[in-house]
Amino acid sequence: MKLIIKKIFFTLPLLSLAIALFAQQPEQILKASGSPANPKVPMSWNRYNDYAAITEVCKKLAKAYPDLVKVESMGKSFMGKEMWVMTISDFKTGDPSKKPAMYIDGNIHSNEIQGSEFALYTAWYLAESFADTKHIQELLADKTFYIAPTINPDARDNFIHAANNANSPRSGMIPVDNDRDGSINEDGYDDLDGDGHIVFMRRKNPNGRFIADQDDPRRMISVGVDQQGEYELLGYEGIDNDGDGDVNEDGEGFYDPNRDWAWNWQPNYIQSGAYKYPFSLPENRSIADFVMKHPNIAAGQSYHNNGGMILRGPGALEDLDTYNAQDVQVYDALGNKGEELIPGYKYLVVYKDLYSVFGGELDWFYGGRGIYTFSNELWTNFLMYNKAGDSNSQATQYSFDRNLLFNDAFVNWKAFKHHQYGDIEIGGFKKSFGRLHPGFLLESDAHRNMSFTLYHAYHTPKLSVEEISEKDLGGGLKEVTAVIANKRLMPTHSSQDLKYKIEVPDMISLTGPKVIAGMIVNNRDLNITSEQKNDAENIRVPNIPGNSTVTVRWIIQNAGKYSVKVDSKKGGIASRSN
Please say whether the beta carbons of 495 and 572 come within 8 A: no
Per-residue model confidence (pLDDT) at position 393: 83
Band of pLDDT at residue 171, cut at 50, 70 and 90: confident
Dist CA 95 CA 70 (whole Å):
12
Query: Residue 291 in 3-state DSSP?
Result: helix
Q: Which long-range contacts (CB under 8 A, 24 or more apart) does 545-549 make?
A: 545/486, 545/491, 546/330, 546/459, 546/461, 546/486, 546/488, 546/489, 546/490, 546/491, 547/486, 547/487, 547/488, 547/489, 548/485, 548/486, 549/466, 549/483, 549/484, 549/485, 549/486
Beta bridge partners of 72: 85
Per-residue model confidence (pLDDT) at position 180: 56
Q: How many CA atoms lie within 13 A of 334 on its CB side?
A: 30
Whether the pLDDT of residue 189 is over 80: the answer is no
- Please report, for the chain, how many H helices and E strands are present, in that order: 14, 23
344-365 burial: b if 16+ Cβ within 10 Å, else e: bbbbbbbbeeeebbbbbbbbbb
Whether the pLDDT of residue 241 is over 80: the answer is no
Q: Quick one: which of 468, 562, 486, 479 has its CA closest to 516?
A: 479
Determine the CATH number of domain 53-158+256-379.
Answer: 3.40.630.10
Whether the pLDDT of residue 489 is over 50: the answer is yes
Beta bridge partners of 556: 478, 515
Residue 233: Cβ-neighbour burial (10 angstroms; 0-12, 13-18, 19+): middle
Residue 135's φ and ψ, nearest 5 degrees, are -60, -40
Dist CA 124 CA 67 (whole Å):
14
Dist CA 381 CA 218 (whole Å):
19
Please say whether the beta carbons of 451 and 428 come within 8 A: no
Q: Residues 399-432: pLDDT tens digits?
A: 999 999 999 999 999 999 998 899 999 999 999 9
- Between 320 and 55, the higher pLDDT residue: 55
Q: What is the mean pLDDT of residues 100-112?
A: 96
Band of pLDDT at residue 22, cut at 50, 70 and 90: low
Per-residue model confidence (pLDDT) at position 390: 62
Q: What is the mean pLDDT of residues 352-380?
A: 96
From the list 128, 232, 237, 377, the catalytic residue is: 377
Per-residue model confidence (pLDDT) at position 240: 73
Per-residue model confidence (pLDDT) at position 184: 45
Per-residue model confidence (pLDDT) at position 251: 46
Q: Quick one: how far is CA 515 from the chain centroid?
A: 46
Preceding amide of 36 cis, omega within 30: no
Please say whether the beta carbons of 574 and 564 come within 8 A: no
Q: Where are the domains of the chain?
A: 53-158+256-379, 178-252+382-429, 463-577
Greatest mean pLDDT among 79-93, 225-239, 265-279 lies in 79-93
Please say whether the beta carbons of 212 and 219 come within 8 A: yes
Task: Find the largest Cα–Cα distance for the chain.
Answer: 104
Lowest-confidence pick of 62-76, 162-176, 488-502: 162-176
Dist CA 40 CA 61 (whole Å):
8
pTM of the model: 0.93
- Catalytic site residue 117? no
Whether the pLDDT of residue 8 is over 80: the answer is no
Q: What's the Rg (C-alpha) of the chain?
A: 29
Whether the pLDDT of residue 249 is over 60: the answer is no
Lowest-confidence pick of 167-171, 308-312, 464-468, 536-540: 167-171
Query: Residue 283 in 3-state DSSP?
Result: helix
CATH topology of domain 463-577: Immunoglobulin-like (2.60.40)
Average pLDDT of the residues of the chain:
91
Dist CA 204 CA 227 (whole Å):
15
Band of pLDDT at residue 28, cut at 50, 70 and 90: confident
Q: Quick one: how far is CA 169 from the chain centroid?
A: 20
Q: Residues 441-457: pLDDT tens digits?
A: 999 999 999 999 999 99
